[in-house]
A and B are shown apart, each in its own frame.
Chain A
């Protein structure tokens, strides 16, 4: 479960996120959307404990990220938009390293099915420099899933993937949500978010504009139109501009 209360983040006089509150429960997939510069990535990084919040309260799986960061991070996984890998570790060595960091006993038994699921088992002894972008992304995700996180944060996970990769990524996210994980997913690909997300939160200039199930948010901005999609909801909610 993710509980956010009054999250606030500023850089000097600039406020990136202002008084943000929401809850995501196990099994839910929250789509975090907003124009460029809305504060999506900043929000995700605060939730994952990468940067300290300027104010507010964030609880991950019942642990306060500020007061119990180690316990909270044990339950979460963060997947950045650009896969961050170590150039000198092979695929297998990446999983070995992450297993030790997260104390995943007998990680080989978990790692092999992950490599098979993401179809990179035959690349196990290759370096990231020998992998395509899609494969790097899959390796980064396999590393994040090794310790069976209860909470997952995805920042633009579909960028750079081919259609088959996008399909598999969506299936993987839905599968983990069904298994009880709590997922927050940030992306500009709204029609794809519609297929995966159960809830949506729209940000603009650091502030929450709308938050709820897809149906609830659509109803708020649809003016009675039953066929409005997420893209139209988004454009109405944000006024069609970044400012």
Chain B
């Protein structure tokens, strides 16, 4: 019977590879695959096979890596093990605390339809599922190796990293299944979910408390001196995780971690045996505790199929698929601008935290915190430390945010047929669909601007010309420009979905692959180029207005006038984009576009 199951798995893999290969005959997939493969080669594979100490591209990079190693505490390796073990303990604890459903094994609907009625024992099905998950763990480990192999301070090589990650993923996977089965058995014996959670958390807290109590009094809290010196923290972590009883609890976890953190081949070989033994014990535990999983597996498979269908249809909006109705974000009147109906609808599809109350509360919290920091002389030094990451976040939100805020036509393309029956022009539907991500991203950027405005301090005398009035004018100007800027950013991926629906459909394919990554990279660079092209005229002329007119009317007034000019240009560009895409949407025949 296992032969049949292995045949299923390997034949599926072979045919999947063949079908992906055949797809490369189409230029759009071939181009994306070339870009994706080039990215993978230059970023990952070029460094494989080299000695770990020579992963830097040049002497400067190698020197930077050596400098980093010198700043680390002498016992950083043991500390890495300690922190890693503690992180895994947190994951494992969550596996015993969180689950509320009966245990299920992740069979697909097709596997259920064929295998469940077949003359296969339950144990054979469990073996099949566990072996499949091991293959997936190995694939995931290979991907993680591509990243970790670049960190030369970790030591080891591609093989040791791959196997090290496989041990970690495999252990987590098997422990999750074993914990689920065990919890289901306990639930059948009458242990309620809340009592179980309380017991697990109580057990962990008692272990940690007992361990801390057994430490010397002066070692129970890390002695922090210089904030840049991590030595006391690493020493404390090592002491905590090697003292009983927490040390006993973490000992098998450390055995699983040991192959990954092994510095050389000898250390790896020594660590291999115990780690493999832990995995084997987990495997036997899962097989022995497997209970009737069929009902839960069928339910799980149906929900998984629905999630995949939604994903393929483009529905990857923030918030996921809801299971319960939510109150509306605001009252939608029966008459009025129809575009507002789309805003209302799409807000219901995303996190319920995106509402006016949270926005105003966030602004009030930022205001209070920044004012408090400003009036406290000893805390004022933190202000630049807040401004810099907020500035980075704002830039990231503006450039990458549209890729994540997908509550627009990209997620509603599957409903294009219905949308096109509405008595609305194409531009009205486009505008309506754009409103939600525009509102969300604008709110985030406004909060960032508020923070920047309150935390900015001219620490350098060369910035004395940046008076308070000018800063306010610039801040308000940027705030006014944010909505059209964000809309322009969103127009690009929406245009991609409407103008190249076949390529957009490629991006909705689950499973990734170099051609999907390549396609996303192509669209991302196209977005950056389009934005530069759209912004250059407006920003250029705006800067010219400021430079010329500031001599006559003062810089503050000049900035205000320039802002209004830039706003007019951006609004005109937005209007053109929305109208053109609306026309495109009216002519779109999705079934015809996807035939190729």
B415 at the interface (CB under 8 A from A): yes
CB-contacts of B284-323 with A (<8 A): 306, 310, 315, 319, 321-323
Chain A: minimal CB distance from B430 (Å): 14
Contact between chains at A45 and B417 (CB < 8 Å): yes
- Please give me the residue from chain A that is nearest to B591 by CB atom: A51
Chain B: minimal CB distance from A85 (Å): 9
A selection of 27 A-B contacts at a CB cut-off of 8 Å is A48-B421, A49-B420, A50-B416, A50-B417, A52-B586, A52-B589, A69-B425, A70-B424, A73-B422, A76-B421, A78-B421, A84-B415, A84-B418, A86-B349, A87-B349, A90-B325, A93-B328, A93-B345, A96-B328, A96-B332, A96-B334, A97-B345, A99-B334, A100-B334, A101-B422, A103-B338, A129-B323
B-side contacts of A50, CB under 8 Å: 416-417, 420-421
Knowing A97-B345, A103-B335, A107-B334, say if A70 contacts B322 (CB, 8 Å): no
Q: How far is the CA of A31 from the CA of B529 in the complex (A)?
A: 52
Q: Which of B326, B335, B338, B421 has the most CB of A within 10 A?
A: B421
Contact between chains at B595 and A84 (CB < 8 Å): no
Chain A: minimal CB distance from B26 (Å): 16
3 nearest interchain CB pairs? A100-B341, A90-B325, A74-B423
Q: Would you give the 0/1 interface string for B330-347, flagging 1 where the beta carbon is closer than 8 Å to chain A?
A: 001111101011001100
A-side contacts of B341, CB under 8 Å: 97, 100-101
Q: Would you give the 0/1 interface string for B209-237, flagging 1 where the beta carbon is closer than 8 Å to chain A?
A: 00000000000000000000000000000
Q: How far is the CA of A96 from the CA of B371 in the complex (A)?
A: 43
A77 at the interface (CB under 8 A from B): yes
Q: How far is the CA of A127 from the CA of B306 in the complex (A)?
A: 14
Q: How far is the CA of A87 from the CA of B326 in the complex (A)?
A: 12
Q: How far is the CA of A39 from the CA of B315 in the complex (A)?
A: 29
User: A102 touches which one: B315, B416, B423 (CB < 8 A)?
Assistant: B423
Contact between chains at A70 and B425 (CB < 8 Å): yes
A159 at the interface (CB under 8 A from B): no
Chain B interface, >50% SS class:
loop
- Please give me the residue from chain A that is nearest to B418 by CB atom: A84
A225 at the interface (CB under 8 A from B): no
CB-contacts of A79-101 with B (<8 A): 80, 84, 86-90, 93, 96-97, 99-101
B-side contacts of A78, CB under 8 Å: 417-418, 421
Knowing A90-B325, A127-B324, say if A71 contacts B423 (CB, 8 Å): yes
- Please give me the residue from chain A that is nearest to B596 by CB atom: A12
B-side contacts of A125, CB under 8 Å: 325
Contact between chains at A49 and B338 (CB < 8 Å): no
A126 at the interface (CB under 8 A from B): yes
Q: How far is the CA of A74 from the CA of B338 in the complex (A)?
A: 13
Contact between chains at A88 and B349 (CB < 8 Å): yes
Besides A76-B421, A87-B349, A101-B424, 8 new A-B residue pairs in contact (Cβ under 8 A), listed by A number = A50-B420, A51-B420, A70-B424, A87-B315, A97-B344, A100-B340, A100-B341, A129-B321
Q: How far is the CA of A117 from the CA of B349 in the complex (A)?
A: 28
CB-contacts of B575-592 with A (<8 A): 586-587, 589, 591-592
B: residues with CB less than 8 A from A are 306, 310, 315, 319, 321-326, 328, 332-336, 338, 340-341, 344-345, 348-349, 414-418, 420-425, 586-587, 589, 591-592, 595
CB-contacts of A36-90 with B (<8 A): 45, 48-52, 69-71, 73-74, 76-78, 80, 84, 86-90
Counting chain A residues whose Cβ lies within 8 A of the other chain, the interface size class is 35 or more
Contact between chains at B417 and A126 (CB < 8 Å): no
B-side contacts of A127, CB under 8 Å: 322-325
Contact between chains at B424 and A100 (CB < 8 Å): no
Contact between chains at A84 and B423 (CB < 8 Å): no
Knowing A96-B332, A100-B334, A107-B334, say if A86 contacts B423 (CB, 8 Å): no
A-side contacts of B310, CB under 8 Å: 87
Chain B: minimal CB distance from A81 (Å): 11
Q: How far is the CA of A105 from the CA of B328 in the complex (A)?
A: 19
Contact between chains at B334 and A101 (CB < 8 Å): no
- Please give me the residue from chain A that is nearest to B429 by CB atom: A101
Chain A: minimal CB distance from B481 (Å): 30
Q: How far is the CA of A76 from the CA of B420 in the complex (A)?
A: 12
Q: How far is the CA of A45 from the CA of B323 in the complex (A)?
A: 32
Knowing A45-B417, A50-B421, A127-B325, say if A88 contacts B348 (CB, 8 Å): yes
Contact between chains at A70 and B418 (CB < 8 Å): no
Contact between chains at B325 and A100 (CB < 8 Å): no
A-side contacts of B418, CB under 8 Å: 78, 80, 84
A-side contacts of B319, CB under 8 Å: 88
Q: How far is the CA of A103 from the CA of B324 in the complex (A)?
A: 27
Contact between chains at A101 and B325 (CB < 8 Å): no
Q: How far is the CA of A69 from the CA of B306 in the complex (A)?
A: 34
B-side contacts of A102, CB under 8 Å: 422-423
Contact between chains at B328 and A77 (CB < 8 Å): no
Chain B: minimal CB distance from A200 (Å): 24
A104 at the interface (CB under 8 A from B): yes
A-side contacts of B349, CB under 8 Å: 86-88
Chain A: minimal CB distance from B345 (Å): 5
Chain B: minimal CB distance from A63 (Å): 10
Chain B: minimal CB distance from A184 (Å): 14
B-side contacts of A88, CB under 8 Å: 319, 321-322, 326, 348-349
B-side contacts of A195, CB under 8 Å: none
Q: How far is the CA of A49 from the CA of B587 in the complex (A)?
A: 10
A106 at the interface (CB under 8 A from B): yes
Q: Which of B319, B414, B422, B595 has the most CB of A within 10 A?
A: B422
- Please give me the residue from chain A that is nearest to B432 by CB atom: A101
Contact between chains at B417 and A84 (CB < 8 Å): yes
- Please give me the residue from chain A that is nearest to B315 by CB atom: A87
Contact between chains at A73 and B421 (CB < 8 Å): yes
Chain B: minimal CB distance from A92 (Å): 8
Contact between chains at B335 and A126 (CB < 8 Å): no
B-side contacts of A96, CB under 8 Å: 328, 332, 334
Knowing A100-B333, A101-B338, A102-B423, say if A11 contacts B592 (CB, 8 Å): yes
Chain B: minimal CB distance from A62 (Å): 15
- Please give me the residue from chain A that is nearest to B336 by CB atom: A100
Chain B: minimal CB distance from A189 (Å): 22
- Please give me the residue from chain A that is nearest to B414 by CB atom: A84
- Please give me the residue from chain B that is nearest to A71 by CB atom: B423
